[in-house]
Amino acid sequence: MKIYDELVWRGLIKDVSSPEIEEKLNNGGLTFYIGTDPTGDSLHIGHFSSFLISKRLKDAGHNPILLVGGATGLIGDPKPDTERPMITKEQVQHNFDCLKAQAQKIFGFEVVNNYDWSKDLNFIDFLRDYGKYFNVNYMLNKDIVKRRLDLGITYTEFSYMIMQAMDFYWLHENKNCQLQVAGQDQWGNITAGIELIRKKTGKEAYGFTMPLLTKSDGTKFGKTNGKAIWLDREKTSPYEMYQFFINSEDDKVIDYLKFLTFLTPEEIMELEEKNKTQPHLREAHKALAKEVITFLHGKEAYEEAVQVSQTLFSGQIQNLTLEQVDVAFEGVPTVEIEENEMNILDALILVGAAKSKREAREFVNGGSVLINGERIKDLEFTVKKEDAFGQSKTVIRRGKKNYFVLKYNG
């Protein structure tokens, strides 16, 4: 299957600037760029779905450039409903450094910063060399601008389109970049760049957009909507990522396999059939988790995520490390104590596993209380710091799914 047909099959092409795109993608040899602004210090899974297309195109014989917008990040791409908060130059630089290192580690491609060619441009030159090529009526007709007119849009946000067009022009002239790839919400900015190149050079440039990775309710993945799934394992552990994918919506998991993995169409269609006929096995979800985590963090990280998940499911947590406990029980109700030991009944009441000593006795006598994975039926049992994970945390379980943590400060 040729690259254009594969991208269409995967649902990765939304808008194209020219019918020539198909032939040019299939022939290889294009230098193209895809970008993001450094609004955070890590990429997230929404970026991953977009940046993966860079590898697909590279494998098809094209030359990718990843742009991290140190200049545009200082301005802020207009959001549909409000203006983005300004972030300091120091924070933008820090985020750029983090994203550059992360992108190069994951993808290994050239990374450029549009601040390098924007920082010395003065306002008069900006108006003379770029502003005169943009008709205000043309800019007002772009979707993102139209959506903001009723709410109001600042001149700074309004100028973002020109800045992104400048990027395409600069890369066209200095890196022989002929193609820009972006999410569908960037279509207006892409076409603005194509027009700028045509007006200033008389040459043709191209662009296409990808549908955004979304949940069933239509919201996109990112740090704005809900909890972000970060590519930095210190912000989102492989275990958390595994849980996220394993619990993906059944009606979206095949789309995610197409967007986020390099599994062949035949492999994905086989998983799609299993998802329909044997949904309880969650084969598609498991394959998705394995492919993404292995690509990002390696086979060992994936296997550890599976191990922690299986350990928690079985309840046999005795062999977990403190680090694994930290990851697995993040967000679980935690109470910090100064004492190094405590009677089990008092511990159950303290963490909220029981409302009274009478209720705590019933839970212990009924065998529904586990301390660090061990079932306890002794009402005189003492919960001790010396028996805790890393002598730091004791995990209390009541019933099948109710977990609590005692953290020792003493």
Please give the backbone phi and psi of residue 395, each rounded to the nearest 5 degrees, phi first. -100, 120
- pLDDT(327) > 90: no
The answer to whether the CB of 351 falls within 8 A of the CB of 333 is yes
Mean pLDDT across the stretch 21-25? 96
The residue with greater pLDDT, 219 or 275, is 275
Question: Which residues, 6+ apart, have CB-to-CB distance to 100 below 8 Å?
Answer: 68, 111, 113
- Give CA–CA dist 142/100, Å, rounded: 30
Please give the backbone phi and psi of residue 36, each rounded to the nearest 5 degrees, phi first. -150, 155
Q: Look at the domain 3-210 and name its fold.
A: Rossmann fold (3.40.50)
pLDDT score recorded for residue 224: 47
Binding residue numbers for ATP = 223
Mean pLDDT across the stretch 369-378? 94
**DSSP 8-state symbol, 321:** -
Please give the backbone phi and psi of residue 121, each rounded to the nearest 5 degrees, phi first. -80, 120
The answer to whether the CB of 371 falls within 8 A of the CB of 314 is no
Choose among 7, 135, 152: nearest CA to 79.
152
- pLDDT(225) > 60: no
Domain ranges of the chain: 3-210, 238-314, 334-408
The answer to whether the CB of 396 falls within 8 A of the CB of 403 is yes
- Give CA–CA dist 377/364, Å, rounded: 5
DSSP result, 219-277? PBSSSSSSS--BSSTTTS-HHHHHHHHHT--TTTHHHHHHHH----HHHHHHHHHHHHH
Whole-number average pLDDT of the chain: 91
The region of weakest confidence among 73-77, 127-131, 148-152, 186-190 is: 148-152
CB atoms within 10 A of CB 178: 22
Mean pLDDT across the stretch 137-149? 77
pLDDT band at 401 (very low <50, low <70, confident <90, very high): confident
334-408 matches 3-210 in CATH topology = no
Q: Specify the CATH number for 238-314; select among 1.10.240.10, 1.10.1610.10, 1.20.1250.20, 3.50.50.60.
A: 1.10.240.10
Percent of the chain with pLDDT over 70: 97
pLDDT score recorded for residue 142: 74
The answer to whether the CB of 56 falls within 8 A of the CB of 98 is no
Question: Which residues, 6+ apart, have CB-to-CB distance to 44 below 8 Å?
Answer: 221, 222, 223, 228, 229, 230, 231
- Give CA–CA dist 186/37, Å, rounded: 12
Pairing of strands 402-408, 393-398: antiparallel
The answer to whether the CB of 150 falls within 8 A of the CB of 2 is no
Binding residue numbers = 33, 160, 164, 223
Binding residue numbers for L-tyrosine = 33, 160, 164
CB atoms within 10 A of CB 380: 8
The pTM assigned to this predicted structure is 0.85
Query: What is the CATH code for 334-408?
Result: 3.10.290.10
